[in-house]
């Protein structure tokens, strides 16, 4: 019984350390030039506009675009349960804030982080682009970077969306498990 308790305690400590590392890594923005900024989708509001969480991702990407770190933004998502094309909604949001339509690429087949990474890699190779910057929630940055790198993309930088909510208490440990799953996947 003593061995089981020590093993459980060690597992808990390891999980907490991994979670802390994930959060700290995601909060540490790496600002670097890139060929494209990749923004994964998220919830669309009932009126068809990006949710506050998604707006924060888009605003983080927009700031990097306006700073001249990348000449284009790739928005990726799918049609969610709300019935709206996330990528189209994201593109409209960016256009309304001054990003030219020609600087926005839409991937409406980004059902998952992995799908977004694969689709981004295909698009980037087709255009001869090599480097990408990630713009997403702080807890999602490490897994999204890993997915893109595993798809053959050189991730030159990342920015986190400055948006925090109570739901993060669920999302952070879930993301720790998700990162582990992505890491051990071949």
**Per-residue pLDDT tens digits for 113-127:** 999 999 999 999 999
Is pLDDT above 80 for 62?
yes
Q: For residue 69, how many C-alpha atoms fall within 13 Å in the half-sphere facing its CB?
A: 25
pLDDT given for residue 82 in this prediction: 81
Residue among 18, 31, 84 at smallest CA distance from 54: 84
User: CB of 130 within 8 A of CB of 154?
Assistant: yes
Is pLDDT above 90 for 19?
yes
Mean pLDDT taken over the chain = 94
String of b and e for 77-110 (b: at least 16 CB within 10 Å)? bbbeeeebbbbbbbbbbbeeeebeeebbbbbbeb
Question: What pLDDT digit, counting tens, does each position of 63-116 carry?
Answer: 999 999 999 999 999 998 888 999 999 999 999 999 999 999 999 999 999 999
Please give the model's pTM, rounded to 2 decimal places: 0.92
User: What are the structure tokens assigned to 69, written together?
Assistant: 């770190």
Rounded Cα distance between 110 and 64, Å, is 22
State the sign of the Cα–Cα–Cα–Cα dihedral 44, 48, 49, 52. negative
User: What are the structure tokens assigned to 78, written together?
Assistant: 């799918």
- How far, in whole angstroms, is CA 31 from its chain's centroid? 15
- Categorize the per-residue pLDDT at 186 as very low, low, confident or very high, splitting at 50, 70 and 90: low
List phi, psi (to 5°) of 104: -115, 130
Is pLDDT above 90 for 1?
no
């Amino acid at each position: 019984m003593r061995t089981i308790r020590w093993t459980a305690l060690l597992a808990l400590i390891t999980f907490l350390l991994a979670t802390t590392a994930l959060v700290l890594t995601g909060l540490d923005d790496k600002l670097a030039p890139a060929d494209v900024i990749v923004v994964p989708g998220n919830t669309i509001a009932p009126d068809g506009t990006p949710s506050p969480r998604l707006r924060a991702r888009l605003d983080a990407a927009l700031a990097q675009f306006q700073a001249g770190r990348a000449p284009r933004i790739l928005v990726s998502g799918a049609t969610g349960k709300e019935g709206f094309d996330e990528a189209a909604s994201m593109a409209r949001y960016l256009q309304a804030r001054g990003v030219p339509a020609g600087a926005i690429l839409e991937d409406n087949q980004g059902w998952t982080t992995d799908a977004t990474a694969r689709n981004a890699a295909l698009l980037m190779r087709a255009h001869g682009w090599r480097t990408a910057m990630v713009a997403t929630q702080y807890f999602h940055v490490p897994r999204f970077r890993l997915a893109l790198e595993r798809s053959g993309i050189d991730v030159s930088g990342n920015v986190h969306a400055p948006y925090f909510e109570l739901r993060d208490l669920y999302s952070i440990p879930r993301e720790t498990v998700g990162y582990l799953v992505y890491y051990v996947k071949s």
